[in-house]
Structure 1
Amino acid sequence: MQTAVGVFGGDSYSDGVNVPALMVENVGNSSRPAISSLNCPPFIAVESCREHLGVRPCDKRRNISEYRHLFPAIDFSLAKNDEDILWKADVRETNEEVAARGVKFINWLWTRKENEIVVVSHSGLLYHTLKLFGSDCHPIVKEEISKHLANCELRSMVLVDRSMLGSDSCYSNYPGKIPSGLDLPSDIADDKHPEKGNIN
């Protein structure tokens, strides 16, 4: 959360400002000032948008009650339990389970009304989830989608709900139907179909 707040948060928090701090001062012994939520987009903590779960203590989250104190303006209402009941000391989540959780998160994204959403998460979740997508794309696109993310990497993506494109199956991310017939440059099309002439 510190990364998200640092990148997308407001200015330093000032006493007297009538909005909750996005992050209080010195979170994680960082010696950083508090950050204001003034003029910031909404921040929502989503339980399924986390790193591999289990075994490694660094992947266990704190109690939500602690986070609420440290990040007062972040919405933690989607967390069903104060304690981290998903993390198990003796069972490490498989890559397939991480990917399934990531797909669950993407399905949740579809329920949001916003057109632009920033997802801040760990690379493992994003890597294993995104590897499931793009099989119907050009191999270069599939390769790009499936690359592991570097630490603190920003990557822009467009998610397309193909169910909104119509009843025909679509194999591209173009938001509309693929025109029937040859896809020729206009000058070649004019030569091949002179009866249609230049209609410009």
Structure 2
Amino acid sequence: MNTTAAQFPYPWQRCKIIHLVRHGQAMHNVEGDKNREALLSPHLFDAELSPLGLQQVGKLRKDVHASGLLDKIELVVTSPLYRTMQTAIGVFGSESHADGGNEDFSAISATNYPQIMAVELCRDRLGVRPCDMRRRVSECQALFPSIDFSMMDGEDDSLWNPDVREPEEEVAARMVLFMKWLWTRPEQEIVIVSHGIILQHILNVLGNDCHPAVRSALCKRFDNCELRSVVIVDKSLMGADSTL
């Protein structure tokens, strides 16, 4: 028997199932694909989902309901930007939606559905681009009353800097902090609704001890409204970091 290829069991209490979801196509994606300079436009402040993005959210909602996944999820963690909160509510909120993708997926009650919590640590790369600046918390609460904003860092966005783009090294360090926070949560099956670069950094953190081929496939770029699921194991008692 080749023991190097064996799969070793871990106690379920030391594992979590994480479902990573990138937001649906947003207006800054549309404009940025035409002209990257458009991402500097103030008109794209905290960009909303595009019509196609709304359709993508509607499709993922149907897939999640049909698969039975919604019955297993205990917590949804979302970036506090408009496009991610629209996606989180649209896919995991409580009300069903008609076909056509014209809903705004905002003020939808989530009673008897997973708690949806906004967390600053998993928001998009900070700085320079207005599309990555968030609204005031009071405005977010009015737009998304079913989301829990108790983890937010303050009413105004003090993290976004108009002159400095967050270095990727700092994004990576932020994801380490985010995953450490996630391990403090009691829930075992959690959804993270965030942004492509953020999700890739999360998987980079988790995949540190994976085979390079596995890590390469795991950390590939996310499509809009793509859902990717992983099981992670807390190996801290064995002297290793939390990992896949």
* TM-score, with structure 2 as normaliser: 0.58
Unaligned 5+ runs, structure 2: 1-84
Query: What is residue 108 of structure 1 aligned with on the other side?
Result: 181
Is the Cα–Cα contact under 8 Å of residues 108 and 146 in structure 2 kept in the other structure? Answer: no
Query: What is residue 55 of structure 1 aligned with on the other side?
Result: 128
Query: What is residue 154 of structure 1 aligned with on the other side?
Result: 227
Measured at CA, do residues 138 and 76 of structure 1 come closer, stay the same or move farther in structure 2, by a change above 3 Å?
same
Return the structure number with greater strand share: 2
Return the offset for 1:168: 7.2
SS in structure 2 at match of 1:159: strand
Question: Counterparts of 2:105 and 2:191 in 1: how far apart (Å)?
Answer: 23
Is the Cα–Cα contact under 8 Å of residues 110 and 146 in structure 2 kept in the other structure? Answer: yes
Q: Give the CA RMSD over aligned residues.
A: 2.4
Measured at CA, do residues 155 and 31 of structure 1 come closer, stay the same or move farther in structure 2, by a change above 3 Å?
closer
Structure with the bigger RCO (C-alpha within 8 Å, sep 6+) is 2
Query: What is residue 137 of structure 1 aligned with on the other side?
Result: 210
Measured at CA, do residues 136 and 90 of structure 1 come closer, stay the same or move farther in structure 2, by a change above 3 Å?
same
Seq. identity, %: 55
Is the Cα–Cα contact under 8 Å of residues 12 and 34 in structure 1 kept in the other structure? Answer: no
Unaligned 5+ runs, structure 1: 14-28, 174-200
Query: What is residue 99 of structure 1 aligned with on the other side?
Result: 172
Aligned length: 155
Question: Counterparts of 2:169 and 2:148 in 1: how far apart (Å)?
Answer: 28
Return the offset for 1:4: 0.6
**Residue 94 of structure 2 corresponds to residue 10 of structure 1:** yes
Return the structure number with greater helix share: 2
Is the Cα–Cα contact under 8 Å of residues 86 and 106 in structure 2 kept in the other structure? Answer: no
Deviation above 3 Å: which 4+ runs of structure 1?
29-34, 167-170
Question: Counterparts of 1:32 and 1:100 in 2: how far apart (Å)?
Answer: 31
Return the offset for 1:104: 0.9
Question: Counterparts of 2:137 and 2:106 in 1: how far apart (Å)?
Answer: 22
What is the correspondence of 1:27-38 to structure 2 with a 5 Å cutoff?
34-38=107-111
Question: Counterparts of 1:33 and 1:73 in 2: how far apart (Å)?
Answer: 9
Q: Which of 80, 87, 102 in structure 1 is aligned with 2:160?
A: 87
Look at both structures and tell me which one has the larger radius of gyration over its CA atoms. 1
Return the offset for 1:163: 1.9
Is the Cα–Cα contact under 8 Å of residues 133 and 142 in structure 1 kept in the other structure? Answer: no
Query: What is residue 77 of structure 1 aligned with on the other side?
Result: 150
Question: Counterparts of 1:104 and 1:168 in 2: how far apart (Å)?
Answer: 18
Return the offset for 1:125: 1.0
Paired AA for residue 171 in structure 2: V
SS in structure 1 at match of 2:231: coil
Return the offset for 1:44: 0.7
Q: What CA deviation, in whole Å up to 9, does each residue of 1:27-51 have, x standing for no partner?
A: xx95568422122101110011111
